[in-house]
Structure 1
């Protein structure tokens, strides 16, 4: 495997105007587009939490989209990103 195709898992906390604006639905759309697995959910702090697994190349593209506000109504002001041990999920889903 080349370095860019290494499988990895990323945990993200996204801040800004990210609840009530379709952010989770757009996150799901882009995760599926990049063949990523994991989940997204709203936090009581008005932030959104994302855990996503897949190829490092696809995850980097996904992170770029998230940092640039994937929903036309969202405004991302901060993204905390932690690379955690790889975990294989069955699919990508919205948690409630």
Structure 2
């Protein structure tokens, strides 16, 4: 198991991208969270098996209406999430 952090840039807000990410993650058995950042990017923390996480990242490009320009990915401290959730601003 491993946790990755993604910072995704492009047309990724107000296009249903977070819901698409959650759908892909839950279909693959990945736990974590996704949130919009104030600067227009999307932040993702995802925990799962390495091979599944690689598939998850490649599947993000299939989300309709989103146009991904770049995905900055790094390994994050292993985090145990109960499910995959969309974080909403307070």
When normalised by structure 2's length, the TM-score is 0.94
RMSD over equivalenced CA pairs, Å: 0.8
Q: Structure 2: which 5+ residue stretches go unaligned?
A: none
Deviation at 1:88, TM superposition (A): 1.0
Which residue is 2:84 aligned to?
92
**Which of these residues, 50, 56, 59, is aligned with residue 62 of structure 1?**
56
How many residue pairs match? The answer is 88
Match of 2:22 in 1: 28
Runs of 4 or more, structure 1, over 6 Å off, are none
Which sections of structure 1, spanning at least 5 residues, go unmatched? 1-6
2:37 equivalent in structure 1 = 43
Deviation (angstroms), 1:71: 2.2
C-alpha separation in 1, matches of 2:59 and 2:41 = 17
What's the TM-score once normalised by structure 1's chain length? 0.88
3-state SS of 2:19 partner: helix
Larger Rg: 1
